[in-house]
A = this chain, B = another copy of it.
Amino acid sequence: GAAGAARGAALAAAALTALALAVAAWRRARPVREVLFFPSRPCCIEALLAEAAEPGAPARPCPCPLPSGDTALSRLVRRLLSARRSLDLCLFSFSCPQLARAVQLLHRRGVRVRLVTDAQFMGLHGSQIGRLRHAGIQVRHDQHSGYMHHKFAIVDRRMLITGSLNWTTQAIQNNRENVLVVEDAEYVKAFQDEFERIWEEYNPANYSFFPERR
């Protein structure tokens, strides 16, 4: 009868809800595994930055001529902007203004950003290091010969972003590059430990004023 049909519909609805909840939980629990290949099409990341700065605010269209599609760059920015507590950066060169804006935004939002970079590249034209330091972000660099050639980021001590890509617009738009996104405790721990080692070693309190010859 009608009562039976209603009960059947209610049961079906409950089953669907349970299924949806299970899928959502599985999605949340499933570790991120992603590979990004470059070059990336140039794209506008204003909408991503605006949403990260003020979640839920009405979108304002950006006047720039770039498309705001799904690109390797926009995916990289999304992963970075997912940081809630900490962002540890270990970057040979960092001159891409778009990525610098994403990092600054996280810093303003209260995420603890630490940045290690290469002494020989940080002063080059276009480097974003000075700007990030001005914004109050802690930066340390080596004082040795040999390059600090890593290009990795760790989000919330949980997600590793690493590859061949230097954070320069030239590399993003023109080079063949790869970036792995790995949410795996074993790999993350190895890189987090390496970060902490370098962070301590590059502590300005340890600087010698008679550095080894380059």
Contact = CB atoms under 8 A, between A and B. Distances in A.
A148 B191 CA distance: 25
A187 B180 contact: yes
Contacts of A198: 176
Interface in A157-185: 162-165, 171, 174-178, 180
A142 B174 CA distance: 12
Interface bin, chain A: 20 to 34
A89 to B, nearest CB: 14
Contacts of A35: 187, 190-191
Nearest to A160: B180
A176 B147 contact: yes
A186 interface: yes
A107 interface: no
Best-buried of A33, A35, A165 by chain B (most CB within 10 Å)? A35
Q: Which secondary structure dominates where chain A touches chain B?
A: mixed
A56 interface: no
Interface string A131-145: 000000000001001
A53 to B, nearest CB: 31
A136 to B, nearest CB: 25
A51 interface: no
A186 B149 contact: no
A70 interface: no
A46 to B, nearest CB: 25
A150 B191 CA distance: 20
Contacts of A92: 164
Interface in A176-212: 176-178, 180, 186-187, 190-191, 194, 198
Interface string A61-76: 0000000000000000
A152 B37 CA distance: 13
A126 to B, nearest CB: 17
Interface of A: 33, 35, 37, 39, 92, 142, 145-152, 162-165, 171, 174-178, 180, 186-187, 190-191, 194, 198
